[in-house]
Amino acid sequence: MTDIEIKTQPNLKVIKEEIPHLLAEGEIGAILELTVSDKNGNITQKRVMKSESFVRQFLELLWVNFQNLDYRSGRYCADVYGGVACVRADRRLWTAGGAIGETHRGILVGTGTNVPTINDYTIQTLISHGTGAGQLQYSAVTFGAPSSDATTSQFTVTRNFANGSGAQVTVHELTLVVQSYADSNIQYSHMIIRDMIPGGIAVPNGQTLTVNYRIQVTT
Amino acid sequence: MLRGTIDISKFGKNGKEDYSQLCRSFNRNFISLLYSGFAQVNYGLTDIDGIYRTCEIDRDRPLLGVTQPALHLPFTSQDMLGVQVGSSDAVAGPTDYDLGNRVIHADASPEAANAVMEGVRYTGSTSTRNIYGATWAIQTFHVPWAVNAYTIRLYCYRAGDLSARTLTVSIRKTDGAWNPTGGELAVGTATGVELQGITTDTNGQWFEVAMTSPCVLRPYTRYCIIVRIDGGDYSNSLRWQYGGSGSSSGYRLYRGGADCSGSSSNSGGSWSLSDSYHQSNYFLVMGRHPVGLCHYPTLVRTIAFPTPPPDIQFTIERFFHNFTGSAITLRETGLYGSAPTSASYENFVYLIARDVLTVPITVNNDELLKVSYAVQISV
C-alpha cells in the first residue's frame, strides 16, 4: 500500500485555462479531461475528449427543473440503485458535490466496458473508495466557476482519484452523478452522464487521476 | 450528444409554413444557473434588465424555471418567462442578457384613448414631498402588463408662485436597490402657465404631464418616476402627496413595487428612499396597450422517445398571435428562465438562450406562430 494524500481543494476557482472547443455547433455537452500525475505533480498522461453520453436522467431532471414541478407533479426518475424517485424541483436539485470517499454523487470511476445507452442509470462496475486491491481514493468534488470566451461558456466539475492500492488500476468508465430531493425530503442520486474511455486509462500505483468534466454550451 | 433545435410553424390563410434550425445559443447564464445547482453555491449573473444579481440557493425555489411564475416573482405577467421572440438580428453571444429587441406581449390592438394602467392613491392622512430646485422626488413602480405610457398623473397641490418654472417628469429604470439607473426612458414637461393652474388647496388634485414620446414599459422591470422643478424654494414648490403607514410593520400602501418613494436633495445625485416606512407618492400611469404579439403560456411538453433518434427529447413551446392589424417581422428567439434570490424573497428572470433566425419570419395580422425548443439527447 502506498500513502497517497487526498487534496480536497475546498475553494472555488475561476478556470484560467483556454476553453477547449470540441463540441459541434449548437451542442450542449461536456468536455472530459483526464490527467494522470505522479506524486511530484508531474503529468504522465493526459487526454482531452468529448463526453459522449448524457443519459436520460439529465433530460428528465432538466424537464422537472424547467417546469418548477413539486413532489405532487414531479417525474419518476431512475436513481443509481435501480429504484425510482419522484423528483421535484427545488434548490438542491443537481447537487454534485461529494465529500472524500463519497460515491453517491459527483464523478465516479469504474471498470465496466459496456457501450452506454440512453437508459443507463448507474455505473456498470464501480471502483470503490479505498486503498485495497483495485480501489482508488476519491477526493472531494470541486468546481470551477463559469467562464466564457467568444463562443463557449463552461463550468468544471473536478475529482481526483489517488491510487494507493499497491498495483495499477485501469479506469474504463466515468459517470457524473447528481442528487435530487423527492417527497419526504429524501435524497436520491441520479446518473446524468456515463462515458467510456477507449482502451481505458491506467493509473499506476502511487499516481493520481484527475477528472475534469467541463460542462459547456456553444454559440 | 445533447443539443437543441428550434422549430417554428406559422399558421396563416395560406396554410402552414415550417422552419427549423439548430439552437446554437444556450448561453453563459444557462451554464451559470446549472453551476449554481451543481456546486450549491450562490452565483452572480445578469438579469434581463442588465442588473447583476446574485442567484441564491434557497429551499423550494428552483433554478431555471421557464413556466409557473406565480410564486415569488416580482410581477404577475406570465409572458415574462419561457419562449420569447424579437426583431433584432444582432449576432448572438455567450454573454447576451436579453433579446436584442424583444416583441412584447399584447393581447389586443392599442386603445384609442389613454386609461389608467398603474398607480395608487389613498384618501386617508397624507403628507407631501416638496419639490423645488435641487430637491427632487421619486416613486418606484411596476406595471402589471406591458404598457405604452403616454402620461403621468401626480396628486399634488401648488405652494406659492411657479409661473416662471418648468416641471419635468421622467421615467427611468431602477437598479437592485431601487435607485434610478440608466437614462430617461421618457420625459415630459409642464410650463409655468400650466403649473399656475394647479390648485393651492391642500386637499390636492390630479395633475397630468404628457410624455414627449410614449414609452413602452414591461412587467418585471422596475421603473421610477422622477419629478423636479428648475428653481423655486420651499414656499414656491410643488407638493406631491404621499401616504402610507409610516411604519416598517404597517400596511403596504402600494404593492406594485417595494413602495419606495423618496427624495433627493442634490438634484438626483443620491436618493433617500422610504421603503421601510411603506409609503407611496400618489401617481397614475396613463396609457394604452402597446403593439405586440399575444404570448400564450409557455408549455413544456412531456418527455418523448422518438424513433428514429434522438433517443429522448422534450419541447418547450409557445404560441404567438398577431392581433395588431399589421405585420411583425421576427429575427430572433430566446428563452427566459427564473432563479431565486433570498435577499428580497423574489425570483428574477434571466435570458438562458438566444438565437438569430436564419430566415426572418413575418407574422401577418391574425396569423398564429408556434415556436418550439426541442432539447434532445442521442447516445
Q: Are residues B91 and B184 in the same domain?
A: no
**pLDDT (0 to 100) of residue A120:** 94
Mean pLDDT over each residue of chain A, to the nearest integer: 87
In this structure, are residues B5 and B365 in contact, taking their beta carbons and an 8 Å threshold? no
Inspect the interface and report whether the beta carbons of A150 and B93 lie closer than 8 Å: yes
Q: Residue A20 and residue A35: Cα distance in Å, rounded? A: 15
**pLDDT (0 to 100) of residue A67:** 84
DSSP three-state, residue B29: helix
Rg (CA), chain B: 23
Rg (CA), chain A: 17
Q: Are residues B121 and B262 in the same domain?
A: yes
**pLDDT (0 to 100) of residue A15:** 44
Average confidence (pLDDT) over B282-290? 93
> What are the pLDDT digits (tens) for B321-345?
998 888 999 999 999 998 887 655 6
Q: Are residues B261 and B316 in the same domain?
A: no
What pTM, to 2 d.p., does this model score?
Answer: 0.87
Q: Residue A142 and residue B344: Cα distance in Å, rounded? A: 29
Q: Touching check for B92 and chain A: CB below 8 Å?
A: yes
Q: What does the angle CA A149 – CA B63 – CA B96 come to, to the nearest 5 degrees?
A: 30
Report residue B183 as a C-alpha cell. Answer: 437614462
Q: Residue B149 and residue B347: Cα distance in Å, rounded? A: 26
Q: Are residues B128 and B236 in the same domain?
A: yes
In this structure, are residues B323 and B106 in contact, taking their beta carbons and an 8 Å threshold? yes
Q: Are residues B283 and B136 in the same domain?
A: yes
B67 contacts on A by Cβ (under 8 Å): 66-68
Q: Residue A84 and residue A78: Cα distance in Å, rounded? A: 4
| Chain CA centroid to CA B356, Å | 23
CATH of residue B142's domain is 2.60.120
In this structure, are residues A170 and A113 in contact, taking their beta carbons and an 8 Å threshold? no
Q: Residue B45 and residue B97: Cα distance in Å, rounded? A: 9
Binning pLDDT at 50, 70 and 90, where does residue B73 land? low
Nearest to B208 by CA among B166, B155, B287, B261: B155
- The residue ranking higher by pLDDT, B329 or B120, is B329
Among B26, B40, B66, whose Cβ lies nearest the Cβ of A217?
B26
Q: What does the angle CA A22 – CA B309 – CA B15 come to, to the nearest 5 degrees?
A: 105
CA distance to A72, B19, B266, B307, per residue, from B164 (Å) = 66, 61, 21, 77
Q: Are residues B254 and B296 in the same domain?
A: no
Q: Are residues B317 and B270 in the same domain?
A: no
Q: Residue B345 and residue A161: Cα distance in Å, rounded? A: 40
Q: Are residues B199 and B346 in the same domain?
A: no
Q: Touching check for B303 and chain A: CB below 8 Å?
A: yes
Q: Are residues B351 and B216 in the same domain?
A: no
Query: Which residues does B215 contact at the CB level (< 8 Å), separation at least 6?
Result: B148, B149, B171, B185, B186
DSSP three-state, residue B34: helix
**Beta A13-14 vs A142-148: how paired, if at all?**
parallel
B56-67 residues labelled b (16+ CB within 10 A) or e (exposed): bbbeebbbbbbb
Q: Are residues B331 and B247 in the same domain?
A: no
B43 contacts on A by Cβ (under 8 Å): 145-146
Which structural domain, as residue segments, surrounds residue B55?
2-109+291-377
Domain end (from B288, B309, B344)? B288
Q: Residue A121 and residue B274: Cα distance in Å, rounded? A: 54
**pLDDT (0 to 100) of residue A14:** 45
How many domains are contained in chain B?
Answer: 2
- The residue ranking higher by pLDDT, B235 or B126, is B235
Q: From the CA of B346, how many Å to the nearest CA of chain A?
A: 14
- Tell me the β-bridge partners of B364: none
In this structure, are residues B51 and B97 in contact, taking their beta carbons and an 8 Å threshold? no
B66 contacts on A by Cβ (under 8 Å): 66-67
Q: Which of A41-45, A89-93, B322-326 has the lowest mean pLDDT?
A: A89-93
Nearest to B369 by CA among B169, B138, B177, B85: B85
Binning pLDDT at 50, 70 and 90, where does residue B250 land? low
Domain range summary for chain A, segments of one domain joined by +:
23-53+96-179+192-218
The position carrying cell 481526483 is A160
Average confidence (pLDDT) over A111-117? 94
Domain end (from B288, B308, B332)? B288
A 10 A CB-CB count for B16 gives: 10
Q: Residue A179 and residue A190: Cα distance in Å, rounded? A: 6
Q: What does the angle CA B238 – CA B243 – CA B247 come to, to the nearest 5 degrees?
A: 135
Domain end (from B288, B311, B328)? B288
Query: Which residues does B164 contact at the CB level (< 8 Å), separation at least 6?
Result: B192, B231
Looking at residue B134, the DSSP 8-state letter turns out to be: T
Per-residue pLDDT for B90 more than 60?
Answer: yes
Q: Are residues B228 and B324 in the same domain?
A: no
Percent of chain B with pLDDT over 90: 49
Q: Are residues B17 and B70 in the same domain?
A: yes
Among A62, A116, A215, whose Cβ lies nearest the Cβ of B31?
A215
Q: From the CA of B223, how many Å to the nearest CA of chain A?
A: 28
